[in-house]
Amino acid sequence: MNQNFSALVIKQAYLNASKLFHSSSNNFANHYDTLKLQRNCTSQQIRDSFIQLSKKIHPDLNKSPNAHKNFLKVQEAYNVLSKPHLRASYDLELAHPGYRSESGRQWRYGPVYRDPWDDPSFYRNRKTYQEYKSGMPRPKSGFLAMCVVAAVAMAFTVEILVVRFMLLRQQEFAQKRTADIQKILNEVEERAKANGLEAQLEIYQKQYEEMERLRTTGN
């Protein structure tokens, strides 16, 4: 009889302890529950939920006595889950309810040991945490492709402008040379008309002989 009574007392104590454990665990704010989100939610969903809840429970808009307290809970949940490194740490804390969080703000009670690899959110958020540690998120492949296309288009445009500039310079040089030749021809024609063709030929002959003499003397 005493043994049965002792067993009954122990069983009842265990049930009471279990209820106390679950009650204590529920008293601590679960940030995902506060924002009414699943643990695999995205950053955009976290932001949208925070904005939506803030509009409902903000003390300036909600006259409920608990509005200020509820708003602080929502704000704290958003501050943690919106930052990749804090969210990763928080998810690990949820996976190890027997350990204290790094910030030291709360204690969680539960089994002393739990395999961290059993927590699926650890894998989901590990990539986000690694991106934070690297300094900035890795650019998407589509963004890189757009950058490459933009760089190629810019280089092609510069090349076209350079070629066009060179063609214009060559065209200007050719026009100037044509104008100089035409000027010389006009001068020759005017001299031929003024001096007569034979006299002009004699002048050219003398100029040619003088040039030959100077060339021979110079040699």
pLDDT category at 20 given cuts 50, 70, 90 is very low
> pLDDT at residue 37 above 90?
yes
CA 137 from centre of chain: 7
Query: Do 92 and 175 share a structural domain?
Result: no
Query: Do 102 and 58 share a structural domain?
Result: yes
pLDDT category at 22 given cuts 50, 70, 90 is very low
Counting Cβ atoms within 10 Å, is residue 119 exposed (0-12), middle (13-18) or buried (19+)?
Answer: middle
pLDDT of residue 38: 92
pLDDT category at 40 given cuts 50, 70, 90 is very high
Contact 81, 39 (CB under 8 A): no
Query: Do 108 and 65 share a structural domain?
Result: yes
* DSSP symbols for 168-205: HHHHHHHHHHHHHHHHHHHHHHHHHHHH-HHHHHHHHH
pLDDT of residue 46: 95
Rounded to 10 degrees, the C-alpha dihedral 118/124/126/132 comes to: -160
- Which amino acid does the sequence have at 154? M
pLDDT averaged over every residue in the chain = 74
pLDDT of residue 61: 83
Contact 116, 125 (CB under 8 A): no
Contact 32, 38 (CB under 8 A): yes
Query: Do 114 and 161 share a structural domain?
Result: no
The domain tally of the chain equals: 2
Query: Do 69 and 147 share a structural domain?
Result: no
Query: Do 73 and 98 share a structural domain?
Result: yes
Core vs surface per residue 36-67: b (16+ CB within 10 A) or e: ebebebeeeebeebbeebeeebeeeebeeeeb
Q: Tell me which of 111, 133, 155 is where a domain ends.
A: 133
Query: Do 76 and 35 share a structural domain?
Result: yes
Question: Does the pTM of the predicted model rise above 0.75?
Answer: no
The SS3 assignment for 11 reads helix
**Higher per-residue confidence, 22 vs 142:** 142
pLDDT of residue 207: 79
pLDDT of residue 26: 44
Q: Tell me which of 83, 104, 133 is where a domain ends.
A: 133
pLDDT of residue 117: 45
- Which amino acid does the sequence have at 153? A
pLDDT of residue 212: 82
Query: Do 193 and 91 share a structural domain?
Result: no
Query: Do 117 and 23 share a structural domain?
Result: yes
Alpha-carbon distance of 131 to 37, in angstroms, equals 23
Query: Do 175 and 123 share a structural domain?
Result: no
**Tens digit of pLDDT for each residue in 77-133?**
999 999 999 999 989 888 876 555 444 444 444 443 444 444 555 545 555 555 545
Range of the domain at 62: 2-133
Percentage of residues in the chain having pLDDT higher than 70: 63
pLDDT of residue 43: 93
Query: Do 19 and 113 share a structural domain?
Result: yes
Query: Do 83 and 186 share a structural domain?
Result: no
Q: What is the CATH number of the domain that holds 37?
A: 1.10.287.110
